Amino acid sequence: MISQKAKYALRALVALARQPTGQPVFIGDIAEAQNIPKKFLEQILLDLKHHGLVASRRGKAGGYGLFRPADTISFGEVLRIIDGPIAPLPCLSKIAYRRCEDCAEEASCEVRRVFAQVADATRAVLDRTTIADAIASNLPIRLRELVA
């Protein structure tokens, strides 16, 4: 299960990506439209900003916007920022490897070998799919054919 926070983050990014001209959107507007507690969303967006995914402007005409093109932001990147490693076992994480202390030898660990397959399959989806992909696949079928 991914955290509620990660789900909020992804929904917020999708909302920002939908903004036609990339104009900034108020936190309050996103919060209302997406049913996310506003103060919680503030934390999330701030976090995403610190990682360079979104940018903000203060003041009366402020708001948030994507900092990078939507087709360069993968689901995997967002999940790693918000929820931490994607790997199902610490000993399978690429960004935060940690040996399982209770495991005798990693090389012959049956459990690890199976979950390595899970990790590969998961990453294949999450690191390949971007925010832009998620929006594109939302178009009605006929429209999508026109685009392609």
Partner DNA sequence: TACTTACTCTACAAAGCCAATATAGTTTCG
Partner DNA sequence: CGAAACTATATTGGCTTTGTAGAGTAAGTA
The answer to the question of residue 105 lying near a copy of itself (CB under 8 A) is: no
CA 137, chain centre distance (Å): 17
Report the alpha-carbon angle 95-110-1, nearest 5: 50
Question: Position of tokens 């209302």?
Answer: 32
**Closest among 12, 21, 74 to 47, alpha carbons compared:** 12
CB 117 within 8 A of CB 123: no
Footprint (CB under 8 A) of a copy of itself, residues 40-59: none
The answer to the question of residue 3 lying near DNA (CB under 7 A) is: yes
The answer to the question of residue 11 lying near a copy of itself (CB under 8 A) is: yes
DSSP letter at 109 equals -
Question: Position of tokens 């012959």?
Answer: 108
DSSP letter at 63 equals E
Per CB under 8 A, which region of 19-27, 53-61, 65-73, 104-112 contacts a copy of itself?
A: 104-112
Toward DNA, which CB reaches closer, 5 or 123? 5
Footprint (CB under 7 A) of DNA, residues 70-89: 83
Site string for DNA, 37-76 (x = CB under 7 A): xxxx-xx-xx--xx-----xxxxxxxxx------------
The residues of the shown chain that bind DNA, judged by CB under 7 A, are 3-5, 8, 24, 26-28, 37-40, 42-43, 45-46, 49-50, 56-64, 83
